């Protein structure tokens, strides 16, 4: 199984801009710029690689946890996951902080925490991000 994305960048790093496209069409000519990556913390200047990594990480983790919860006989009603990816200019991406709020009927706190931690370690994106610090804060709704 392979998934593809294409970046098209023109001009220099600080003066240039680019667009991103994905095979699925979920991203079509999605703009990204130096400003959107390094200057504008509001997120209104287009996307950036770190935001896309955060989306991939939160989505993968949610799917992995949903699987583990279903295997446990306690399927989730809802899993809301935020991933905050940290970029330190000059150093690189240093971490991804997962924050989870789960609505899971008939599960106790200890089992929920155990399965959430298991999902953090086992989701394919977490494994791909093995060079950075990954943290998890999980709570039941």
Give the pLDDT mean for 108-119: 98
Give the pLDDT mean for 125-138: 98
Give the pLDDT mean for 4-24: 96
Strands 5-10 and 30-33 turn out to be unpaired
Ramachandran region, residue 134 (left: φ > 0; alpha: ψ -120 to 50; beta: rest) = beta
Q: Residue 105: how many CA atoms within 13 Å on its side-chain side?
A: 2
Single out the residue of 61, 65, 63 nearest to residue 82, CA to CA: 61
Rounded to an integer, what distance in angstroms lies between the CA atom of residue 56 and that of residue 104?
A: 23
Strands 17-22 and 30-33 turn out to be antiparallel
- Average confidence score pLDDT of the chain: 96
Give the pLDDT mean for 106-134: 98
pLDDT at 43 over 80: no
pLDDT of residue 42: 83
The answer to whether 52 and 60 are in contact (CB under 8 A) is no
pLDDT at 101 over 90: yes
The answer to whether 132 and 93 are in contact (CB under 8 A) is yes
pLDDT at 135 over 90: yes
pLDDT of residue 46: 84
The pair of structure tokens assigned to 75 is 């399927």
Task: Report pTM.
Answer: 0.94
């Amino acid at each position: 199984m392979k998934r593809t994305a294409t970046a098209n960048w023109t001009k220099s790093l600080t003066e240039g801009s680019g667009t991103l496209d994905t095979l699925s069409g979920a991203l079509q000519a999605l703009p990204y710029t130096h400003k959107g990556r390094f200057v504008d913390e509001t997120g209104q200047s287009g996307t950036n690689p770190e935001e896309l990594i955060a989306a991939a990480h939160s989505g993968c983790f949610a799917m992995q946890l949903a699987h583990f919860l279903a295997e446990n006989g306690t399927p989730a009603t809802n899993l809301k996951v935020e991933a905050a990816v940290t970029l330190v200019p000059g150093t690189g991406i240093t971490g991804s902080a997962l924050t989870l709020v789960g609505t899971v009927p008939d599960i106790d706190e200890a089992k929920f925490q155990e399965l959430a931690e298991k999902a953090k370690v086992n989701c394919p994106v977490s494994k791909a991000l093995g060079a950075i610090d990954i943290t998890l804060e999980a709570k039941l709704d």
